[in-house]
Amino acid sequence: MHPVKELHYFDSLFGIRSPQALTDFSAAQLAKVVESLGLKTEKDEQVLSKPMQCYVRANRILSTRKINAVEYQDLFRPCLQGREWLGEITPEYMLMNAEQIQLAQDVLAADRIVVALMVRHPARRYLSAFKLQQVYMRNSDEAVEHDHSALLEKFKQSLRSEDGWNHCQDRYNHFAETVERWQSHFGDDFLVLSIDQLVGDTTAALKKIIERTGFQFDQRAVQAVMKNKVNDVAVSFSLDDEALDLCEKRFGAVAQQLDELMGCELTL
């Protein structure tokens, strides 16, 4: 897996996401790691582990070159040689249309591509996006809100809104269409897994991946990671009855559709 958490290569290449957003974010990531590790020369980077060298190198490339001048496989160096599989995870890829999926296949030019769509309860995904927004989508001189009551009220206000941000979030709820589109390209090499499955029934989720890829997992190690899964963005608050009701009004229908697709009820 690429050490950069979300590579944003294809969504930036196809204009689904602003290429400038990737440039700016990559520059910030690069500056942060250079400062934290005290990197001053090329020699300093050469003593880093290969994944960390890859992290620094990819961010440098993505922050200094136009995305259409970047070779996808080049972003994985120096971890490319000797690797049977390469991987990444970027949520915006689910927004690609049929033509863009085909173009991505041509760019990858791989003997085999296995695609996994990870889903979770729509309100749960929305809550996560809202929390991330409080941390990342603000001016640098603005402090992160830590008052739980104020955050809850802001969340409820967001649920009532029909602004551009909400319309962008709604795009991630077209699950049936997304599955049909990707499955038409990849057939049995397209998997749909839920966060609930991965965390709550790790063995079953891994079995589906193993069947498609032949990967060998240390299942105990994976289960230990899942049990201690933390997504801490320094924003925390609990939902009250009013917030749960607003979630039901906004996401109830699409949550039911997703439950039917997965054959089980996903948890909020």
State the Cα–Cα distance between residues 177 and 183, nearest whole angstrom: 10
Mean pLDDT, rounded, of the chain: 90
Q: Which of 17-26, 30-39, 223-232 has the lowest mean pLDDT?
A: 223-232
Give the pLDDT confidence of 153-172 residue by residue, as tens digits: 999 999 999 999 999 999 99
Mean pLDDT of 235-263: 93
Type of residue found at 82: G
Q: SS3 of 185, please?
A: helix
Q: SS3 of 191, please?
A: strand
62, 75 Cβ separation under 8 angstroms? yes
* Higher-pLDDT residue of 263, 135: 263
Distances in whole angstroms, Cα of residue 79 to Cα of each of 39, 47, 161: 20, 14, 44
* 91 upstream amide cis, omega within 30 of 0: no
Mean pLDDT of 63-78: 96
In this prediction, residue 242 carries a pLDDT of: 97
72, 9 Cβ separation under 8 angstroms? yes
